[in-house]
Amino acid sequence: MANILLIATPFDLPTSYGYFWMKKFGAYATRFGHNVILQRTPTLGTLHNALTTHNPRLVVINGHGGRKGVQVGNNVLIGVQDYDPELGVKIYRQNPDWFTGRIVILATCNTGKLLAYRLIDYGVEAVLAFKEPFIFLSDESASQLINDKTAEPFFISLFQASLHLVNGAVFNEACQRERDAFTYYRNLAEARGDELAAKYLHFDLENLVCLGNDWAKLTN
């Protein structure tokens, strides 16, 4: 069993999708015996408390990402000291050392440009991130997020690495399963003539980065 910290809050439409799928992943991980902590209204203080109290092996965060930080709600929760052009904020205090020794999945835009590499520099064992915006399509006519079959392939793919880690996969294998999922759904979209879905599934696939220890896993 591993402690898993999930950070997400539905503060706009894109993060509402992320929060919905994060909860589904959390329920799945719980069924496999892992201890899941979901922070919906995180601040730096509550984040630090969760890290010190629960010492999570895996941290999965969804929010708006820039090359230097991740913003959830009104708070930049992970960052390096500098101006972040994507987030449009100056980060005055950095905290990548809070995540030393952990596996971190940044289910956000842009963090694969630089932040993921800085986390590795500070001793994070493994990081998954995206170099460019994570783009997904959605069905505006869907009455509920669970009924949005247009968005579903993007988020099923996004959470594949996390799902395989809780099933015991090593990090490199989990990353490959995520690449396989994006490839599978891209090919399905191409086969049915949905060029736009295929384009953005391929875009997300091409911008996925996995860094650190290929053999990292949740439990020994």
Structure confidence by residue, pLDDT tens digits, 139-194: 988 878 888 999 999 999 999 999 999 999 999 999 999 999 999 999 999 999 99
pLDDT for 59 equals 98
Q: Which of 150, 213, 211, 206 is nearest to 179 (CA)?
A: 206
Structure tokens at 116: 């993921």
Compute the average pLDDT of residues 186-203.
98
Side-chain half-sphere CA neighbours of 41 within 13 A: 0
Q: How many residues does the chain have?
A: 220
User: Taking the domains of the chain in order of start, what are their residue ranges?
Assistant: 3-212
Name the 3-class secondary structure at 156: helix
Give residue 219's pLDDT: 87
- Give me the pLDDT at residue 143, please: 77
pLDDT of residue 141: 82
Mean pLDDT of 75-90: 96
Asked whether the beta carbons of 127 and 106 are under 8 A apart, the reply is yes
Q: What is the DSSP letter of 147?
A: G
Looking at residue 142, its pLDDT comes to 81
Q: Indicate the angle between helix axes 195-207 and 171-191, nearest 10 degrees.
A: 160
What are the pLDDT digits (tens) for 103-144? Answer: 999 999 999 999 999 999 999 999 999 999 999 999 988 878
Question: Does 214 have pLDDT greater than 90?
Answer: yes
What is the DSSP secondary-structure string of 51-100? HHHH--SEEEEESEE-SSEEEETTEEEEE-SEEETTTTEEE-S--GGGGT
For residue 135, give both structure tokens. Answer: 């783009």
Contact (Cβ atoms closer than 8 angstroms) between residue 83 and residue 105: no
* pLDDT of 44: 94
Give the pair of three-digit tokens for residue 203: 């875009």
At residue 41, the pLDDT reads: 82
pLDDT at residue number 213: 97
Q: What is the pLDDT of residue 42?
A: 85
State whether residue 211 is helix, strand or coil: strand
User: What is the Cα–Cα distance from 9 to 30, expressed in whole angstroms?
Assistant: 19
Q: Which two tokens stand for residue 179?
A: 């690449």
Instruction: Give the model confidence (pLDDT) of 34-81 as tens digits.
Output: 999 999 988 999 999 999 999 999 999 999 999 999 999 989 999 999
As a whole number, mean pLDDT of residues 17-24 equals: 96
Hey, how many other C-beta atoms are within 10 angstroms of the C-beta on 101?
Answer: 11
Radius of gyration (Cα) for the chain, nearest Å? 16
- Per-residue confidence (pLDDT) for residue 104, from 0 to 100: 98
pTM: 0.96
CATH fold for the domain made of 3-212? Rossmann fold (3.40.50)
Q: In whole angstroms, what is the distance from residue 115 CA to residue 68 CA? A: 5
79 in Cβ contact with 115 (< 8 Å): yes
CB 197 within 8 A of CB 155: no
